[in-house]
Structure 1
Amino acid sequence: MRALILAAGRGKRLADSHDHPKCLLEFEGQSLLERHLLILTQLGVQDIAIAVGYKAEQVEQALDTLIFLPRPQTVCNADFNQGSIVSLWTLRDQLRAGGEIFLMDADVLYDYRLGQRLLQSPHRNCFLLDRHLEPGEEPVKLCLRNGVLVEFRKQVPTGLRYDIIGESVGFFRFSEEVAHRLADRCQDYMDQSRHEAPHEEAIRDLLLETPERFGVEDITGLPWIEIDFPEDIHQAQNIILPQLEPLKSSPLS
């Protein structure tokens, strides 16, 4: 199992209050990046690659300080102001390197049990679904009809029939075959100069091509939050963090 973490973005909506890569936001003395690495280590995942970009040197310095072994590989996306599809494309070699893949957004504070559910899922290609959906266009929605995923997007098409809707956590598990297909699809986006697209669009393409290949784990009730706005930091600190199961300290940190 290999984990790929998308951590290149600038976090423009946090710019007034935070001028560092979002993965370096700290909660009780631990950055989001350190929490990711601790959780992955506890899950037995040690092959880790991180797409960095905005102030990449700060992430490199943090990794030097944390001293996780083997040290996570970093791949730099110099075009971090473009869509996140570019960050995923920079990890194309890692997608094609063989074995199953965890794909993870870096800007999420979450409980260890989310990663555990993804690892233990019987679905080799798996999304995480939270049925507590915040209103508005910001959350990326997952829609199911008769137990089959039928949509994965911020904006759900008018008239789409579904019986379950929820929010995608932004963590995914892919089989070796689907990881290869995803790398190829990212290349298609680059060849078509669709550099502003979110990486979710490439994943959506694969889902809609072969929905029977994908499954979902319902993690409703487990604590997590994606940090996009200043108010998310407050909620993460005061509501989410107290609910998280304690993490074991890394023996090498």
Structure 2
Amino acid sequence: MRALILAAGRGKRLANHHNQPKCLLEFGGHSLLERHLLILSRLGVQDIAIAVGYQAEQVEQALDRLAFLPRPQTVYNADFNAGSIVSLWSLRDQLRAGGEILLMDADVLYDYRLGQRLLQSPHSNCFLLDRDFEPGEEPVKLCLRKGLLVEFRKQIPAELHYDTIGESVGFFRFAEEMASRLADRCQHYLDQAHQEAPHEEAVRDLLLATPERFGIEDITGLPWIEIDFPEDIQQANNSILPYLQSLEPSAPNANI
């Protein structure tokens, strides 16, 4: 199992509140980056590649200080102001290297059990879905009809019929073949000069082409938050951090 982490973006909506990559924001004495590495290590995932871009040297320095072994590989995306499709494309060699893939956004504060659900899922191509979310244009939504995924996007067509809707956490699991197809799909977007596209569009294309090959794990009730806005930082500290499982190896289960 290989983990790919997207950490190249600038985080423009937090520009007035920090001048570092979002993955270096700290919660409870640990950066988001360190939390990713601790959780992945606990899950037994040691083959890790990180797409870096904005203030990449700060991420490199943080990795040096953390001294995780084996040291995660970093891949530099010079075009980090473009859409995240470019960051995912920069990891194309890792997507095509064989084996299963975990694809993760770096700017998420989350409980260990989310990663555990993803790894233990019977679905080799898997999304995480949270039914408890605030409606609006910002969440990337997952829609199901009769147990089958029918949409994955921020904007849901008004005519779409579905019986279940939730927010995507931004973590995915892909089988070897699907990971390779994802790299090809990213290449297609760049060949068509669509560098501004979010990486979710490439994932969506694969989903809609073969929906029967994808499944979900419902993680409703488990604590997590994506850090996009200043208010997310406050909510993360006040409403998410207190309910996370400890990162210490011998920690007991959280009581939620």
Shift of 1:234: 0.0
* In 1: Cα distance, 2:103 partner to 2:248 partner: 22
> 1:229 maps to which residue?
229
> 1:3 maps to which residue?
3
Unpaired runs of 5+ residues, structure 2, are 251-256
> 1:220 maps to which residue?
220
* In 2: Cα distance, 1:100 partner to 1:81 partner: 29
Runs in 1 of length 4+ with deviation above 2 angstroms?
none
CA contact (8 A) 2:42 2:249 kept: no
Deviations 1:50-69 (A, max 9, x none): 00000000000000000000
Matches within 5 A, 1:78-157: 78-157=78-157
- 3-state SS of the aligned residue for 1:17? coil
Deviations 1:68-119 (A, max 9, x none): 0000000000100000000000000000000000000000000000000000
* In 2: Cα distance, 1:248 partner to 1:113 partner: 14
Deviations 1:159-193 (A, max 9, x none): 10000000000000000000000000000011000
1:240 aligns with 2:227: no
* In 1: Cα distance, 2:5 partner to 2:111 partner: 16
Aligned residues: 250
Shift of 1:249: 6.2
* In 2: Cα distance, 1:9 partner to 1:207 partner: 24
Shift of 1:248: 2.0
Report the TM-score when normalising by structure 1: 0.98
Matches within 5 A, 1:140-219: 140-219=140-219
CA contact (8 A) 1:114 1:219 kept: yes
RMSD: 0.9
> 2:254 maps to which residue?
none
* In 2: Cα distance, 1:121 partner to 1:98 partner: 19
* In 1: Cα distance, 2:49 partner to 2:89 partner: 13
- 3-state SS of the aligned residue for 1:9? coil
One-letter amino acid of the counterpart of residue 88, structure 1: L
1:29 aligns with 2:29: yes
Report the TM-score when normalising by structure 2: 0.97
Unpaired runs of 5+ residues, structure 1, are none
